């Protein structure tokens, strides 16, 4: 299974390297949010009780997580197209691990968004964001990014296998991006959110990912908040990956 996963992962990475402009194109929207919305709402940091000295500093972790969502929530589209084209049927009769077929796609998507997130972080630092440049802190933040990428890529692939139609998959992809971002502390601190949104944020995995990245990159590191987010991301990534693999095994049957 590991050998098959590595081979298929390498194949998908080579495809990505041959078409680098597509990966860069998906960075446009996060960059717009970072450069425009960061300036649009910068005066919010002057409100009493705001948890950061600069809105941009507060907002950068939210943009990093947004990059993960835009990159991984559409991972299932390519799988759906391969199912439609009959490529997956050919793989099912080949001596290839069924787990590897799903796992390689999920890992490819997670690694891809990891690279995109590092680019966004570099742009944020270049534009004056005062986030941590400690390599250990950045590595810890990227671990959260990777696990969230695994989780949402698994969800996207699982829905692609279950639905086998592009229209509902696109709708679900849209629901997994901006709505979930607004129901988290990516844009506003918890203290300034309506109470009903705060309740939704408590069951929103994105909220814990944003807070974990913010806890380690902005201000004094809060390892307690980071550990809480890391544990939730491990459960989220593991659960969604198991569901996607199970959905693929059902497709085989």
Q: 224: pLDDT confidence band, cut at 50, 70 and 90?
A: very high
Q: Angle 55-72/98-126 helices, nearest 10 degrees?
A: 150
Whether 253 shows a pLDDT value over 80: the answer reads: no
Compute φ and ψ for 128, nearest 5 degrees: 105, 5
Which backbone phi and psi does 68 adopt, to 5 degrees? -60, -45
Distance between CA atoms of 122 and 102, rounded to whole angstroms?
31
Q: Domain ranges in the chain?
A: 2-252
Choose from 7-11, 16-20, 27-31, 227-231 the range with maximum mean pLDDT.
227-231
Buried b (16+ CB within 10 A) or exposed e, 61-86: bbbbbbbbbbbbbbbbbbbbebbeee
Whether the CB-CB separation of 218 and 62 falls below 8 Å is answered with no
In this model, does residue 251 exceed pLDDT 70?
Answer: no
Dihedral angle, C-alpha 54, 58, 116, 231, nearest 10 °: 160
Least confident of 52-66, 91-105, 138-152, 226-240: 91-105
Which of 138, 145, 168 has its CA nearest to residue 30? Answer: 145
Global pTM value = 0.88
From the number of C-beta atoms within 10 Å of its C-beta (0-12, 13-18, 19+), residue 37 rates as: middle
Question: What DSSP element (H or E) covers 107?
Answer: helix 98-126
Nearest to 2 by CA among 155, 91, 110, 104: 104
At 96, the pLDDT band (50, 70, 90 cuts) reads confident
DSSP 163-225: H--HHHHHHHHHHTSHHHHHTTTTSS-GGGS-HHHHHHHTT-HHHHHHHHHHHHHSSS--HHH
| pLDDT given at position 252 | 53
Scan for tokens 């990912």, then name that residue. 209
pLDDT at 161 over 70: yes
pLDDT at residue number 238: 94
From start to end of the chain, where are the E strands? none
């Amino acid at each position: 299974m590991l050998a098959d996963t590595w081979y298929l992962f390498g194949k998908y990475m080579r495809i990505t390297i041959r078409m680098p402009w597509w990966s860069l194109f998906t960075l446009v929207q996060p960059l717009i949010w970072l450069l425009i919305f960061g300036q649009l709402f910068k005066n919010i940091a002057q409100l009493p009780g705001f948890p950061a000295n600069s809105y941009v500093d507060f907002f950068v972790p939210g943009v990093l997580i947004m990059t993960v969502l835009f990159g991984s929530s559409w991972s299932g589209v390519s799988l759906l197209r391969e199912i439609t084209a009959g490529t997956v049927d050919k793989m099912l009769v080949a001596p290839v691990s069924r787990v590897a077929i799903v796992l390689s796609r999920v890992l490819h998507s997670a690694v891809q968004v990891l690279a995109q997130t590092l680019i966004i972080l570099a742009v944020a630092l270049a534009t004056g964001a005062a986030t941590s440049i400690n390599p250990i802190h950045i590595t810890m933040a990227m671990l959260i990014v990777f696990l969230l990428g695994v989780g949402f890529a698994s969800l996207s692939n699982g829905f692609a296998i279950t639905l086998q139609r592009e229209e509902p998959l696109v709708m679900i992809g849209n629901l997994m991006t901006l709505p979930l971002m607004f129901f988290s502390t990516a844009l506003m601190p918890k203290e300034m959110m309506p109470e009903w949104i705060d309740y939704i944020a408590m069951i929103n995995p994105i909220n814990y990912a944003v807070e974990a990245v913010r806890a380690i990159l902005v201000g004094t590191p809060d390892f307690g908040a980071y550990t809480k987010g890391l544990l939730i991301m491990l459960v989220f990534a593991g659960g969604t990956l198991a569901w996607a693999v199970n959905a693929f095994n059902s497709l085989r049957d």
